[in-house]
Amino acid sequence: MSGNLSADAAVRQGRLCACEARVPNAIGYSAAMASENDDSSAEFDRLARRYLDLWQSQLSGLAADQGLTEQIARLFAAANAQVASAIQAAQAQPHAAKPPSGPATAAAASGDGPDDLGELRKRVAALEARIAELETKLGGG
């Protein structure tokens, strides 16, 4: 027989692997768990079938409730929207986190740009006019 035995066959034959034999207090298979114990195996099968039948009847009852079905559908729709939003954010994040290539962009000019230059010209012209007026009053002009 080859070295690859099922767990219950290994228990029945007393052939556990060496790694299990060295571990103290290891939880292993017992002979009661082996499939050859037909009397308890039939009881486990009956219990498993009863469990699945109960679940099936419970789910059938829930599916028959129209209000609950609609509420669950709304819950899944909201969850789908949240998951889709999270996926989009996760996909966009690496692109947004990438540093820009090349030199840094120059800062915007302070003030109002070209309007500041026009204002400066008006003030200089007003000062020139005022100086010219003062010079004529003083007779130096």
**Which are the contacts of 63, defined by CB distance < 8 A and separation ≥ 6?**
69
pLDDT tens, residue order, the chain (141 aa): 445 555 555 555 655 555 555 555 555 556 665 555 556 678 888 899 999 999 999 988 888 889 988 998 999 999 999 999 899 888 877 655 566 677 877 777 666 666 678 888 899 999 999 999 999 998 865
Q: What is this structure's pTM?
A: 0.30
